[in-house]
A and B are shown apart, each in its own frame.
Chain A
Amino acid sequence: MGRYVARRLLQMIPVFLGSTLLIFSMMYALPGDPVRALYGEQAIDQAQIAEIKRSLGLDKPFLLQYWDYLTGLFQGDFGTQIASQQPVADVIADAFPITARLTIFAFLFTVVVGITLGVVAGLRPDTLVDKSLLALTLLLISVPSFVLGYAFQYFFAFQLGWVDPNVNDPENYGQLLLPAIVLGSLSLAYVARLTRTSIAENLRADYVRTAVAKGLPRRRIVGVHLMRNSLIPVVTFLGSDLGALMGGAVVTEGIFNVRGVGYTVYEALSRREGSTVVGVVTLIVIIYLVCSLLVDLLYAVLDPRIRYA
């Protein structure tokens, strides 16, 4: 077990290097000059631009810049923003908890509601309940999140007045509720469908029949035997989904005025704040890698047949 985890952690290093290099090179290739753009349409001062770039190391060749970035990163330095001159670490530390909160909120919503719906439908395959769940999830998947966001905002906030249309205080969970639901709805649909399929499939499995034959109470059959086996594909999906949720927050955060990672990246991208974009994406990649490791370890818990050497 320990060796397995160690090996997986070692495998993360090339992935980590690869993804930072990928994003870093893309940022490098972007047209536009962040320092020059600070001057906007007004008169510009070439000598000053050159000096600012030199002091930030932006005049160095690409690989050298990447090397500087990496060595900085290993000393815990994410770089400095060009315009605000704030450490990127501070910028991320400001934005990240907000998105984390939103994402975890959305994630919990996805898990709780999605699995419940899936179990309810899966236990009664091909009934009206099951069919309407299928229709609902299909609809959720096909409506893009920006459309859903505006629709929900318009309906629940403006028409019904149940919730605030915008998030002004990212620590108020009441305000985060709507964006979290919008953010989580796509995953919710997937989770519900996966659970439903898996439950329906396992319902016909031998071990369930055996359990029924043994006369075990239905609650125990569903709660222990069925759930434990049916959740494996769901857990796989959820593991890869957390990172995607954070990435998808760009749209949701924009609609609901949440000042999280998505907003930060969007802004940093249009201002060519390379180190900020690379920093955020790197962080999400790490989260993704850690989550997929956790998922694999969870298998062992869910499925006793799996052992790690």
Chain B
Amino acid sequence: MRGAKSAKWVAGAIVVALAATACGGGSEDGGNKTAGQPDGYVSIDVGEPQKPLVPADTNESLGAYVIKALFTGPVSYDAEGNLEMANAESVETEDSKTWTIKLKQGWKFHDGTPVTAKTYVDAWNWYANIKNNQQNSFWFADIAGYEDVHPESGDPKGDTMSGLKVVDETTFTVELTNPVPYWEYKLGYSTFAPLPEAFYKDPKGFGQKPVGNGPYKFEKWDHKKLIQVAAWDEYQGDNKAKNKGILFKNYTTVEAAYQDLLSGNLDMIRQVGPKDLPKYKQDLGDRAVDAPYAAIQGITPVFYSKQWKDIDPKVLQGLSMAIDRETITKTVLNGTRTPAKSFTPPQVNGNQDLDTDVFTYNPEKAKQLIKEGGGVPDNKIFIQFNADGGHKEWVTAVCESIRNATGVDCVGDAKPDFQTDLEARDNDQVKSFYRGGWVADYPLNVNFLRELYWSKAEANNGRFSDEEIDKLFQQGDNAATLEESIKAYQEAEKVVLEKMPSIPLWYYRINGGHSENVDNVNVDFHGDFVLDEVTVK
């Protein structure tokens, strides 16, 4: 192409000119062009992790992708969200209070040191210690002695949790403060990964150059550009890498990533941007990936407000029926969501058919229910959202749907960014509704109920408080087995529907795609690509 050539020529001339100017501010890392990628590697658009790469310090999806490649915890989940053993041979309990974890033999860290019970216990003690500022430290709160290393205030009393005991080289026991029948499900979270001895010498340096026990070993982290990991030959687990390595590439925009996918410079894209969504299936054909995952979005009324303080739940049910979920997900949301039918997504254990019409659009009944419930105080509602998260479109659409169906005025209350949004929620300053979302930590219905509607749950920003529900949750926690616990929570969900602590809107879907170079691209319950299974054509 002539144009391209002349553009390059002009550019070349300017390079010469630039070299001549003194204040060029050139960079040191010259020469290294990222045109191609090493043979057999696959690339994915995973941006710069927010935090250093330490398992218990990573809770956002970008860092989690890398951590999952580098570390393997005791258990993991299969595609359906069922528990399966990973580094552990078995996880057993008699009373849901004392758990025995036996590790598989012969596992090693990437530096050659063995994975032992001690490496787990030391790591967990370190993660839980408040002084080490690990973001996921509260995940260890179930373990006896947690308050010794992580007090509500003041300095920790010791370095170890009394509940953790090494039995032999590959066995350790965990004693919980209270019985938690579903505790083993929590163990699948990557926070429970072990750390090698080398970590404790230089935790800070480790975060930049981690050594794990997972299917991939760390190669390099070129900040804000890419992270490169290589398949590890000596990996003992079932999920041994089927490719030679992964490049996690950082893009500032999803559009740029998509362009690269189309031109073959990128193998996988996690989510196609709104600009390309309407056409991505045409562009990609059978290389488009469209799959649901365990996350839910809704609008939550704040029960500390005058408006909702003593509201009849019928009003909220009425508002729920005034939202045309079908049309909004199809048009404004471009099929990126599936209308919700309950308070839990279908991918979690314990999801059930609630057999209700509360989630079905019905303007007549909506009006009637609102009227029966005494109407919406002030006849006007607000939906608070963060303007930097791409929520504006659907909030507007939901509002218009409510306004058209019921005559209740509804406007979006935009906060400039997530920070401001969260602050208003934490400080009980939401006017009427806020946009709420929840992604599964572990694939159980418990996770979507207890963390959101229990009166003392931290994430219960609507300050919903109901004795009956609290009691039902408690019954679930006291259940003897996992099955009974799930059942008890299912019963609780039926009561939740009557009390309407929030209005579920829809479940998330992933709308991504892959290039012609790769195959076997699957999605887990979390909406993440299963990278170790990806093969290069």
A and B found bound together? yes
Residues of A within 8 A of B92 (CB): none
Q: Is A108 an interface residue (CB 8 A)?
A: yes
| Chain B, residue nearest A259 (CB) | B224
Shortest Cβ-Cβ A-B pairs, 10 listed:
A32-B419, A100-B25, A257-B256, A162-B3, A173-B11, A166-B256, A97-B27, A45-B138, A83-B50, A43-B458
Q: Is A33 an interface residue (CB 8 A)?
A: yes
Number of interface residues, chain A, beta carbon within 8 A: 62
A233 to B467, CA, bound (A): 75
A271 to B82, CA, bound (A): 35
Q: List 14 A-B contacts (CB under 8 A).
A: A31-B420, A33-B422, A36-B426, A41-B436, A42-B441, A55-B133, A83-B51, A84-B49, A104-B23, A165-B256, A169-B33, A257-B252, A257-B256, A271-B50
Residue of A30, A36, A174, A177 touching B422 (CB-CB under 8 A)? A36
Type the 1/0 row for B248-277, where 1 means its CB is closer than 8 Å to any CB of A. Answer: 001111011001100001000000000000
Residues of A within 8 A of B17 (CB): 108
Contact A51 B459 (CB under 8 A): no
Chain B: minimal CB distance from A72 (Å) = 18
Residue of A43, A104, A163, A174 touching B138 (CB-CB under 8 A)? A43
A168 to B34, CA, bound (A): 8
Contact A52 B27 (CB under 8 A): no
Q: Is A39 an interface residue (CB 8 A)?
A: yes
Interface residues in A130-174 (C-beta closer than 8 Å to B): 160-163, 165-166, 168-169, 171-174
Residues of A within 8 A of B49 (CB): 84
Contact B60 A253 (CB under 8 A): no
A36 to B26, CA, bound (A): 37
Q: Is B384 an interface residue (CB 8 A)?
A: no
Type the 1/0 row for A264-282, where 1 means its CB is closer than 8 Å to any CB of B. Answer: 0000001110000000000
Chain B: minimal CB distance from A70 (Å) = 25
Q: Is A210 an interface residue (CB 8 A)?
A: no
A231 to B414, CA, bound (A): 48
Q: Is B457 an interface residue (CB 8 A)?
A: yes
Q: Is A37 an interface residue (CB 8 A)?
A: yes
Contact A41 B438 (CB under 8 A): yes
Given A39-B135, A90-B223, A270-B388: A168 in contact with B265 (beta carbons within 8 A):
yes
Chain B: minimal CB distance from A56 (Å) = 9
Given A38-B50, A38-B59, A84-B52: A163 in contact with B419 (beta carbons within 8 A):
no
Chain A: minimal CB distance from B334 (Å) = 20
Contact A40 B59 (CB under 8 A): yes
| Chain A, residue nearest B425 (CB) | A41
Contact A96 B459 (CB under 8 A): no
Q: Is B374 an interface residue (CB 8 A)?
A: no
Contact A32 B436 (CB under 8 A): no
Residues of B within 8 A of A172 (CB): 33
A29 to B11, CA, bound (A): 44
A258 to B60, CA, bound (A): 23
Residues of B within 8 A of A37 (CB): 418-419, 422
User: Given known contacts A43-B458, A51-B130, what 16 new A-B pairs fall within 8 Å (CB)?
Assistant: A31-B420, A31-B423, A32-B423, A38-B135, A41-B438, A42-B459, A43-B459, A47-B152, A48-B133, A48-B150, A161-B3, A166-B253, A169-B35, A172-B33, A177-B10, A271-B50
Interface residues in B1-34 (C-beta closer than 8 Å to A): 1, 3-4, 7-8, 10-12, 14-15, 17-18, 21, 23-27, 30, 33-34
Chain B: minimal CB distance from A308 (Å) = 22
Type the 1/0 row for B51-73, where 1 means its CB is closer than 8 Å to any CB of A. Answer: 11000000110000000000000
A257 to B249, CA, bound (A): 13
Residue of B25, B48, B259, B419 touching A33 (CB-CB under 8 A)? B419
Contact B457 A43 (CB under 8 A): yes
Residues of B within 8 A of A109 (CB): 14
A104 to B24, CA, bound (A): 7
Contact B251 A257 (CB under 8 A): yes
Q: Is A24 an interface residue (CB 8 A)?
A: no
Q: Is B163 an interface residue (CB 8 A)?
A: no
Contact A44 B11 (CB under 8 A): no
Contact B60 A40 (CB under 8 A): yes
A90 to B27, CA, bound (A): 12
Contact A85 B14 (CB under 8 A): no
Contact B419 A86 (CB under 8 A): no
Contact B438 A101 (CB under 8 A): no
Contact A173 B459 (CB under 8 A): no
Chain A: minimal CB distance from B119 (Å) = 23
Interface residues in A25-82 (C-beta closer than 8 Å to B): 30-34, 36-48, 50-52, 55
Contact B422 A32 (CB under 8 A): yes
